[in-house]
């Protein structure tokens, strides 16, 4: 099954944090780091890619930070995952010569179909829905994870 990488989880958490902490002021990356225990070096990289993709808007400077690039109901989990998959593909070379004919003709096509099915499901889940789930569990504006969950990556 396609894996949930650390960067993917960080990206989802960052977008949800921004969505759950929407106010008059943009959400600072330092606040996201503190609340979600995401290592700063990963967070900054992921945030910039999310801005380039239009999922987030970024503002530099002392009063800067991040806001959603559009309404919560118009951003899907699938979009966020694709941003990170593209980022990871840039750093993970793929060698199409590896594998047997069985792998190329049977296993990889089946794996791709599973991934496509999963992405179709993720495209039906909006950030708004995830924020509602967070609020229902009492995590809304205070969404965070225990510090023991985040160790050096």
For the residues 88-99, what does the mean pLDDT come to? 69
Cβ contact 42:6 at 8 Å: yes
Q: Which pLDDT belongs to residue 121?
A: 96
Q: Which of 62, 61, 79 is CA-nearest to residue 19?
A: 79
Q: Quote the mean pLDDT of the chain.
A: 86
> DSSP letter at 128?
H
Residue 68: what are its φ and ψ, rounded to 5°? Answer: -65, 145
pLDDT digits (tens, 9 = 90+) for 7-59: 999 999 999 999 999 888 899 999 999 999 999 988 998 999 999 999 999 99
Could you say which of 1.10.10.10, 3.40.50.300, 1.10.150.20, 3.40.640.10 is the CATH number of the domain covering 6-149?
Answer: 1.10.10.10
Measure Cα distances from 129 to 58, 118, 124, 147 in Å. Answer: 23, 17, 10, 25
pLDDT at position 107 = 87
Give 107-146 pLDDT, tens digit per residue: 889 988 998 999 999 999 999 999 999 999 988 664 444 4
For residue 82, pLDDT over 70 is answered with yes
Res. 4: pLDDT tops 90: no
């Amino acid at each position: 099954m396609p894996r949930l990488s650390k960067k993917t989880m960080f990206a989802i958490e960052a977008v949800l944090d921004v969505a759950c902490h929407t106010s008059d002021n943009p959400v600072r990356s330092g606040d996201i780091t503190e609340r979600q225990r995401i290592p700063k070096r990963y967070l900054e990289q992921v945030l910039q890619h999310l801005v380039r993709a239009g999922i987030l808007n970024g503002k530099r400077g002392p009063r800067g930070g991040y806001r959603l690039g559009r309404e919560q109901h118009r951003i899907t989990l699938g979009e966020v995952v694709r941003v990170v998959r593209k980022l990871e593909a840039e750093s993970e070379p793929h060698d199409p010569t590896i594998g047997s004919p069985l792998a190329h003709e049977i296993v990889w096509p089946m794996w791709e179909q599973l991934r496509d099915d999963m992405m179709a499901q993720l495209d039906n889940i909006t950030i708004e829905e995830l924020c509602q789930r967070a609020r229902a569990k009492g995590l809304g504006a205070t969404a965070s994870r225990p510090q023991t969950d985040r160790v050096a990556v």
